[in-house]
Structures are given as structure tokens and as C-alpha cells.
Amino acid sequence: MAKTLSTIVSSASQTVEISHSRPTVIIGERINPTGRKKVLAALEAGNFDIIREDTASQVAAGAAILDVNAGVPGADEPALLQQVMRIVMEVTQVPLCIDTANPAALEAALSIYEGKALVNSVNGEERSLGAVLPLVKEHGGAVIGLCMDDGGIPDTPEKRLAVAGKIIERAGKLGIGPEDVVIDPLALTMGADSTAGRVALETIELVVREFGVNITMGASNISFGLPDRKYINAAFIAMAIHAGLTCPITNPLVTEVATAVLAADLAMGRDDYSMRWLQGYRQRQKAAQAD
């Protein structure tokens, strides 16, 4: 069993520690035009009000890090990503998770970021490892490693563990320690494959036992195509936290999911005197009164 590690990310003025012994860190997912037509249309029109709103509301709802994605088809992604980041950084001081598959956009983003960013993401493909890891090293960030490689997404936890190991090893060779690699086991859709949840949970357990690294995951894909998704996502995120998930990428405005995260921290003994649970309860009461 590996010793568990802490990952530090920061902005110019704030530091966040992700660790297996501290409360779960929520990475807010909403600043992303993928699958959100309203955001896509606003970015295409050069209207950034929705970005400001999504920034403020996610931080108010408990996001400790914000994912920023500016993947608008046909746009100049390096310039647009910088622009969106600047808007976000005007509104909040929380550290950012820079989310792009475009190395030029990643470099542009890292070049204007003050602090230690979380980079979303590298995977086990040679092309990805070669493009992303040197930029992370040069700019001093932490990086999310997806459990997929040139052969696609492996179907067993053991094979996903092997991809995680490869990413951690290649990062290490460049001088990026395992404390700066956050592994994403990849949660596929259970509607298509009823073992998808179990494979993700088992991958988390194997990776934590073997490497002690922090774990992220998009926790909503799992329920795609099924009814009452928020209940599935809430139970799944609690189970994943028990397995070793430490920094889910999710929407903190979904009360069921945010509440499940607080309850899971409570059950893991990471909420002294139930302070965070009680604070969350008061916020929900206040929000209900405001409605």
C-alpha cells in the first residue's frame, strides 16, 4: 500500500491542497461550451456574462477549483481560452484547471497563469505524453492523467492501472513527481455497459493502493441515458470518495451531488465536529427561503 500524496495547486493568491485525508475538493465543471449550447452561443457572440455568472455561482456553491474550457469549434482556441481565463480571474481567486486538448491553447493558457495550475489533461498516448508533459514541467503545474492510451480505453481495472503507471512514470522522467499527477479512471456510461461503474471504482482503488496519488473523475457521465440521473450521480460520487476519489469534476449547483460529497466527507471522518455539514445545511436553508 503506497503512502498517499498531497497535490498543491494555486492561483496568484490562493492555495488548494488535494489529499486523501482532507475534505473532497470540488472542481467546478460548468465553464465549458461542450454540450452547453447557451455557453457556446455566448462565447461565439463574444458575450462573457455567462462566464462571470458560472464563476461566481460555482465558487459560492463550494467549488475550490474551476475547470476552464473554451473549445468552440472554428474559434482561435489559444486566444479565446486566454480571454475566458482572464474573465474568470477577474471574478475569483480560486485556482484554475486548464481544460484543452490543444497544445497551443495549453501553452497560451499556462503562459498567462500566475500560480500552479491543474492541467486537464494528458493521457497514455505517445502524442499526448510528448506534447503535454513538457509544458506542465516548464510552467510548474500539476496534471490530470486519463486512463486511456493508443489502444483506447482499457476494459479492465488492471489495464487502466497499467496506463496510470505509464503516465506517472513518464511524468517522473521529466521531473514531475507523482504528487503532481492526478489520475482519472474514466467513468463510462452504465446504460451501455452495466460494469462501467464497478470498473471505475475498482480502478480508483487499485491506483490509490499502488501509487497513493490523488484521483479526479467526471462523475455524471456514468448515468447518461438513465432516468433520475442526479440520484445515481449522488450515490456514485459517495462510493467513489470511499474508493479514493479526492477531487471530482462536477457541477456543485446540483444539490443532490454537492450534498452527497459533504455527507461522504462526514462518513469518512474528514469533517471535524460536522462543521462543513452544518454549514452546508444552513446554506440550503437560506437558499430554500430565498426561493
Would you say 132 or 190 has its CB closer to a copy of itself? 190
Interaction site with a copy of itself (CB under 8 A): 190-191, 194-199, 201, 222, 226-228, 231-232, 234-236, 238-239, 241-243, 259-260, 263-264, 266-269, 271-274, 277-278, 281, 284
17 to each of 81, 99, 118, how far by Cα in Å? 25, 19, 12
Of 129 and 257, nearer to a copy of itself (C-beta) is 257
Amino acid at position 90, single letter: E
The least CB distance from residue 207 to a copy of itself, in Å, is 16
Least distance (Å) between residue 288 CB and a copy of itself: 11
Measured from the CB atom, the residue of 52 and 284 that comes closer to a copy of itself is 284
Amino acid sitting at position 219: A
Taking the complex as a whole, the smallest distance from the CB of residue 208 to a copy of itself amounts, in Å, to 14
Closest approach of a copy of itself to the CB of residue 23, in Å? 12
Stretch (H or E) spanning 15: strand 15-18
Q: Report the residue number, 101 or 268, with the smaller CB distance to a copy of itself.
A: 268
User: What end-to-end distance do the CA atoms of the chain give, in Å?
Assistant: 48
**Burial of 236: CB neighbours in 10 Å, binned 0-12, 13-18, 19+:** buried
Residues 6 or more apart whose Cβ sits within 8 Å of residue 148: 123, 124, 125, 154, 163, 186
Q: How far is the CB of 58 from a copy of itself (least distance, A)?
A: 20
CB of 92 to a copy of itself, least distance (A): 27
Residue closer to a copy of itself by CB (options 126, 193) is: 193
Identity of the residue, 48 or 224, whose beta carbon is nearer to a copy of itself in the bound complex? 224
Facing residues of 182 across strands?
144, 214
Q: Which residues, in sequence order, are CB contacts of 127 under 8 Å at separation 6+?
A: none
Minimum CB–partner distance for residue 41 and a copy of itself (Å): 32
Per-residue cell: 290: 430565498
User: Which residues lie below 8 Å from residue 246, measured CB to CB, with a gap of 6+?
Assistant: 18, 19, 20, 24, 25, 214, 215, 216
Q: Is the CB of 68 or the CB of 249 nearer to a copy of itself?
A: 249
Helices (H) and strands (E) in the chain, counts: 10, 10
